[in-house]
Amino acid sequence: MKTRIQKSRSALRRKKVSALLITNKINITYLCGFTGSRGHLLITNSKAILFTDSRYIERAKYTVPKWIEVRDVTKETWQKTLRTFRISTIGFEGDHVTINQLKKFKHLSPRIKFKDISGEIESLRAIKSPQEIRLIKKSQQINSKTFELIKKFIQKHQKTRKPLREIDVAWEIKRIGFELGAEDVSFNPIVAFGKNSAIPHHKSGQTRLKSNDILLIDMGMKYKGYCSDMTRTILPKSPTKLQKEVYNTVAQAQKNALHKTKTGLPEQKIDSLARKVIEEAGYGEYFTHGTGHGVGLKIHESPSLKEEGTAILKPGMVVTIEPGIYLPGKFGVRIEDIIVLD
Are residues 73 and 180 part of one domain?
no
Domain boundary among 72, 90, 125: 125
Query: Cα(193)–Cα(163) distance, rounded to whole angstroms?
Result: 13
Are residues 208 and 64 part of one domain?
no
Whether the pLDDT of residue 299 is over 90: the answer is yes
Are residues 95 and 135 part of one domain?
no
Query: Cα(71)–Cα(203) distance, rounded to whole angstroms?
Result: 42
Lowest mean pLDDT among 12-16, 249-253, 271-275: 12-16
pLDDT in tens, 31-62: 999 998 899 999 999 999 999 998 888 888 88
Are residues 111 and 228 part of one domain?
no
Give me the helix-helix angle, 267-280 and 241-260, nearest 10°.
150
Query: Cα(273)–Cα(256) distance, rounded to whole angstroms?
Result: 6
Query: Cα(47)–Cα(6) distance, rounded to whole angstroms?
Result: 10
Are residues 189 and 106 part of one domain?
no
Structure confidence at residue 6 (pLDDT)? 92
Are residues 174 and 36 part of one domain?
no
Structure confidence at residue 292 (pLDDT)? 97
Tell me: cis bond preceding 303? Omega within 30 of 0 counts: yes
Mean pLDDT calculated for residue range 9-28 = 94
Residue range of the domain that includes 99: 2-125
Are residues 291 and 263 part of one domain?
yes
Are residues 205 and 148 part of one domain?
yes
Give the CATH number of the domain where residue 42 resides.
3.40.350.10
The DSSP call for residue 9 is T
Structure confidence at residue 49 (pLDDT)? 96
| Strand ranges across the sheet with 89-92 | 69-72, 48-52, 40-43, 19-22, 89-92, 113-116
Are residues 333 and 200 part of one domain?
yes
Domain boundary among 75, 103, 125: 125
CB atoms within 10 A of CB 183: 14
Whether the pLDDT of residue 159 is over 90: the answer is no
Look at residues 219, 76, 86 and name the one whose alpha carbon lies nearest to residue 153. 219
Are residues 200 and 240 part of one domain?
yes
Structure confidence at residue 37 (pLDDT)? 86
Give the CATH number of the domain where residue 264 resides.
3.90.230.10
pLDDT in tens, 99-121: 999 999 999 999 999 999 999 99
Return the bridge partners of 304, or none: 293
**In the Cβ-directed half-sphere of 29, how many Cα atoms lie within 13 Å?**
13
Structure confidence at residue 61 (pLDDT)? 84
Mean pLDDT calculated for residue range 288-317 = 95
* 308-311: long-range contacts, CB 8 A cutoff, minimum separation 24: 308/268, 309/266, 309/267, 309/268, 309/270, 309/271, 310/266, 310/267, 310/268, 311/266, 311/267
Q: Give residues with Cβ within 8 angstroms of 271, minimum separation 6.
A: 290, 291, 292, 305, 306, 307, 309
Contact 341, 311 (CB under 8 A): no
Mean pLDDT calculated for residue range 191-213 = 96
Query: Cα(86)–Cα(92) distance, rounded to whole angstroms?
Result: 17
Query: Cα(169)–Cα(64) distance, rounded to whole angstroms?
Result: 38
Domain boundary among 103, 125, 147: 125
Are residues 142 and 117 part of one domain?
no
The mean pLDDT value of the chain amounts to 95
Are residues 135 and 121 part of one domain?
no
Whether the pLDDT of residue 1 is over 90: the answer is no
Contact 55, 153 (CB under 8 A): no
Q: pTM of the predicted model, to two decimals?
A: 0.93
Total of domains in the chain? 2
